[in-house]
Structure formats: structure tokens, C-alpha cells
Amino acid sequence: MLKIFNDIKFSLLKKLYIENFFEECDIFFTELLNPALVEESIFLAYLFKISRSGYVALKVNSDEIYPDEILDYEIKKNIIEGAKAVINSQDEKKFTFLNIFEDWFYLQKNYFYETILLKNIFRLKEAQPVDFFDNDKFKNFVSEHKLFNYDQKQALLKFSKFNVFSIYGGPGSGKTFLASELIDYILKNEANIKIAITAPTGKAALHLKNKILSNQNSKNLQVMTLHKLLNFNEYKTAYFQDDFFDYDLILVDESSMIDLFMMAHILNKISFKTKILFIGDPHQLSPIEGGAIFSEFIRENIFESYYLKDQFRFENQKIIKLANAIIENDEIGVKNFLDNSDMYMEIKNLKEIKENIFELSKHNFNLLNKKIDINIFEKFNKFRILTALKRGMLSVDDLNNQIFKTIYNSAKFNDEILVPIIINKNSYSLELYNGMLGVLLVKKNKTSYENLKAYFLIDKEIKEFFIFELPLFEYAYAISIHKSQGSEFNEVMLIINENVENFSKELIYTGITRAKKNIKIISTKNTILKILSKKSVKISAISKRLEKDCVFLNSYNKSKKNN
């Protein structure tokens, strides 16, 4: 750190690094390019910064900078002038890692992935609809289904007419139910249709599989993560190839979590013989990596979609009202909730807050000398602490360590303590996936962890593992809001920490909508209102590029094989 600090050429860049506006990696890559002007250095460092935050490109013109992450006048001025300097640079080799489209500036890899995505959007929009249903029979099934409401029926009928389609809505809107009924119908009535159920996480794919009513073991149905579907692994470079998926229908759950890189690969492998159905909530957290592609598909009407507006899951309508107020930026509605609800607790006295947390934790998590059965999993899944930070005060690590210590110290010698845990890395051979929740059995007299056992609910059966068999895991009294996506609990304690730099209203919305019956929000009014004031929707130049580059894209697609 000291070396990079001493090597910073420009005083303004050094100042912004000291103030933690830029990270060390932003400075490193900027200095590596040896910018001649301070304006170039600020522009480049900011491009690296926003790319780390999941933005595909930086928009800069004389009137606008997007994203505008709390920029003061001096920084804005330097970014605008730096962008002009880059455009007018006489050194063609210096900025070869950059691509420019109109007033959008890309790191080369993001431009490449977006170009692949656009080529395949254009190709698939021209495809003739796949017709593998007995249409009359399917229409009768939909129209006569007693549990479908009007929107659900319309969504399925519309889906049958398109190769690429999205069904979206908030939590509890019936998306998963609709998908499971669709797959169940196909497995019973269309014997030769090959189906893949997939999601960005194994937990989400498994959750959907468990909702399917029958024929789960059909040879024509496979359930896997997107990484496995695309044959990705950490030891293999992911190339774009001309081979296509060998499935008639691909159903993708939790689609809001798909980043630009992943979506480009998915569409590149869809042939004209395959239908793909994306399901998700565009208001949930966007991917940590680049882009918010699913929400952009819907917002820009890139592919056909249908919105399920009714919400059935929530027993407490106050939760829905607050979630909608968050999404709609209804500051008055949010203020009224914070001022008048017993579901909100202001962070004033940290000691009092922690006492409240530990009291709830002991009530919900202090399970001793219990038989491992399905009731244990149901008990643990009734309550969860969600927090925005992985480290620091009131973070995942802080709370998990302190709650475990509190419960362990209160237990008697030889007591068997049941500890909630969460998997952090996929193990396909064990069917344990990132985000899956389980139970670890800890005996108080143990000095070694090697013989400890963990239990997971897989395909509605409890499976036992020695701790040394498990992939990476951690305690799960508290989990991050990101990790909670795709889960639901009767009661949630949601902690929104005071550092708001990287937070968005989607983070709060996702946390709130994990609760079915009750929620306790711990934060400050100032923190929540600051988050609401942020422009959190990630936009890109996809629609503009699709319109502008249509001639180029058409010539590309004529050369691409379509089986």
C-alpha cells in the first residue's frame, strides 16, 4: 500500500485514494497506463471503479455522467475532461483496452460480452416460434386450471407463442408455482420433450425441483446450476462456441442474478429448436458482476414478457406495503412506516441492539439435545438474521461468532448443540450447493471437529455428512442479504448498516421480501432515506446498440449455424 501511495503521480488522484473514493486496484491499473493528464487519470480510475461495482459501461458527455456515484463538481469536471482527452488521444496503442460507443465507454471485455449478447438477441428475435405443444390440449389445461388466476393463465398462453420469454413479478406472485405446474404438465403429456431446470445457484434450482408435483425422476428432466449447464468450471476457460443446448425447454429461475457474461453464453447456445423461459423479480438485487440484464430485458422490452402483479405469499400486508414503497421511491410512505411501526428499531444504543439480537437468537436458535428430523429444519427456517455487511460491526461474521459463543457458553457439558450453517461453494457430487442451509451438530465436550456431522434436507430427505466431506461453509445464524435470495422465512431481522456507499434500494427490498409473517428492521432513518435517494437501476446502451448495429448484427447472424 505504501509503495502504490508513493507512486501516485497526481495529487488529486492521491487525495481521492486517501479518502477511500478509489481502491488500490483502481489506482494500480490507472498508474499502469501512465496517463499524461490528471483528467485522464481520474477518468480511468473512475471507469475501473464503476466496473468493479457491476456497471457494464460509463456514460460521459457534457451534461451527464452515469453512474454518478456521489460525485462532486471537481471530480465530475475531471471525468468529463478526461473522457475528451481519451477520445482525442493521438496514442492509439495507449487505450486499446477501451471501446467507445457514442458516449459510452467500456472496458474491452464488457464490450465484447455485450456484443455477443446483442448478436444473439438479434438472431433469436428473428426465429420462428417452436411449437412442441398440442396447442388445443395445452389451452384447455391452462383455461381449466382451478388454481391459476387470470394473469397466470395469460402468462402461460403467451409463453407458448415465443421462443424466448420472461415471467416476472414480486415474491409470492406465483412464479415458482406456475413454473412447476408447467413442467408437471409437460412431463405428463409430452413424452419426448427434454427439459432443463436451471438457476444461477444450485439452491434455487433445487428449490424449483422440489416444487414439481410428479415425475421428478423422469429421464427427460435435468436440474443443474447455470455453470453446469454451460459446462463451466474453475479450471477451464469459457469460450463462445457454435454448439447448442440439446434441450427443448430450458427454465431459468432467479434470473435477476444473471450477469452479462453468463447471459451472453446462455443466448449463444440457444438454437431455433429450443424455448427458454426466464423467471424472476427484476426489483431484486442485480448480480455482483456486470449488468442487470434480466431487468433490462423487461424494461426495454427486448424479449416478450408477462408481469404477475398479485402477491399471495405474505401473511402480513405491512411487509408488502413497505416493499412497494421502497421500489416506488415513496419517501413519505417509508417515513410513515419508520415513524409508526413496531417493526422498525433505530440504531441508537449498540449494546441494546445486540441484547435484542441475542435474545431473539436464543429463542429461535438455542436447540439442544434434539433429534435431527424435519422439524429441526422447519424450526431453523422460521427465523433468520439478514445483514448487509460480511465484516465489521453487526455484520455476518460478527453476529455469527457472537451468537455461537453465547449459545455454546450457556450450554452444559455434553450438551449437543444444533448450529445452522450455510454452504459457500458448490459440490455437485454431494448435491450441496452454494446458499443451501443445513444443521451442524456440535457436542460441547469435543476438542476436535473432525468427527462432527452435518445434516441437509435434499429431495425431501435428511442426508448426513462428516464435516470433513463438506465444501466451504460457515455459521448461518446471520446470513448476507445477497445469500438470502431465493429463500423465505416466517420472521426476519433485517440489519441495514450505516455505510451506504455500495447499498441500493434493491438490497433493502430483497431483505424485506424474505419475510412472510413479520420483520424487524434495525437501521437509522437517515441511512434508509439515503439509500432511497440513490439511482440504483443499472442501465446500459443495449437498446441503442441493438438499433444502431442491426445491419452489422444481421450480417453476422447469416454466417451463424442454426440447427
- Encode pLDDT of 399-408 as tens digits: 999 999 989 8
Residue % of the chain over a pLDDT of 70: 90
pLDDT above 60: residue 484: yes
* Cα first-last separation, the chain: 54
The CA-based diameter of the chain, rounded to the nearest angstrom, is: 75
Question: Is 132-313's fold the same as 317-523's?
Answer: yes
Mean pLDDT over 285-298 rounds to 86
pLDDT above 60: residue 314: yes
pLDDT at 95: 78
Cα–Cα distance measured from residue 416 to residue 366, given in angstroms and rounded to the nearest whole number = 11
- Which helix (H) or strand (E) segment holds residue 122: the answer is helix 108-125
Mean pLDDT over 214-219 rounds to 60
Mean pLDDT over 478-484 rounds to 91
- Which whole-number Å values give the CA distances from 405 to 409, 450, 529, in the listed order? 6, 20, 34
pLDDT above 50: residue 559: no
pLDDT above 50: residue 494: yes
The domain locations on the chain are: 3-106, 132-313, 317-523
pLDDT above 50: residue 201: yes
- pLDDT interval class at 313 (50, 70, 90): low
- Encode pLDDT of 15-57 as tens digits: 988 888 898 899 888 888 888 899 999 999 999 999 988 899 9
Q: Which of 331, 283, 322, 307 is nearest to 536 (CA)?
A: 283
Mean of pLDDT over the chain: 85
- Which whole-number Å values give the CA distances from 29 to 44, 76, 92, 226, 453, in the listed order? 8, 20, 18, 31, 46
Beta bridge partners of 521: 344, 494
Mean pLDDT over 238-262 rounds to 88
Mean pLDDT over 412-425 rounds to 90
- pLDDT interval class at 558 (50, 70, 90): very low
CATH domain 3-106 topology: Arc Repressor Mutant, subunit A (1.10.10)
Backbone angles phi, psi at 89, to 5 degrees: -60, 140
Question: Is CATH 3.40.50.720 the right assignment for the domain spanning 132-313?
Answer: no
Cα–Cα distance measured from residue 214 to residue 314, given in angstroms and rounded to the nearest whole number = 26
pLDDT above 80: residue 236: no
- pLDDT interval class at 219 (50, 70, 90): confident
Residue % of the chain over a pLDDT of 90: 37
Contact 17, 43 (CB under 8 A): no
pLDDT at 234: 54
- Encode pLDDT of 509-551 as tens digits: 999 999 988 999 999 888 888 888 776 667 888 988 888 765 4
- Encode pLDDT of 317-353 as tens digits: 888 889 889 988 888 999 998 888 889 888 877 777 8
Cα–Cα distance measured from residue 232 to residue 226, given in angstroms and rounded to the nearest whole number = 8
Name 455's Cβ contacts closer than 8 Å, sequence gap at least 6: 372, 376, 438, 439, 440, 441, 462, 463, 464, 465
Cα–Cα distance measured from residue 276 to residue 166, given in angstroms and rounded to the nearest whole number = 9
- Encode pLDDT of 359-375 as tens digits: 888 888 887 778 888 88
Looking at per-residue confidence, does 450 or 464 come out higher? 464
pLDDT at 562: 43
Name 171's Cβ contacts closer than 8 Å, sequence gap at least 6: 281, 311, 313, 314, 488, 513, 514
pLDDT at 215: 47
- Sign of the CA dihedral 529, 533, 534, 535? positive
Amino acid identity for residue 329 in this structure: N
- pLDDT interval class at 188 (50, 70, 90): confident
Q: Which of 256, 243, 305 is nearest to 276 (CA)?
A: 305
- Encode pLDDT of 81-132 as tens digits: 999 998 887 676 777 888 999 999 999 999 999 999 999 999 998 888 888 7
Number of Cβ within a 10 Å radius of residue 219: 7
How do beta strands 453-458 and 164-169 pair? unpaired
CATH domain 317-523 topology: Rossmann fold (3.40.50)
Q: Helical H runs in 242-369?
A: 260-268, 293-299, 317-327, 331-340, 350-365
Cα–Cα distance measured from residue 250 to residue 165, given in angstroms and rounded to the nearest whole number = 11
- pLDDT interval class at 555 (50, 70, 90): very low
pLDDT at 2: 45
391 secondary structure, DSSP code = S
**Helix (H, G, I), strand (E, B), or coil: what is residue 360?**
helix
How do beta strands 515-523 and 461-466 pair? unpaired
- Encode pLDDT of 147-185 as tens digits: 999 999 999 999 999 999 999 998 888 898 899 899 989
pLDDT at 563: 46
Contact 394, 497 (CB under 8 A): yes
pTM score of the predicted model: 0.85
Name 414's Cβ contacts closer than 8 Å, sequence gap at least 6: 443, 444, 445
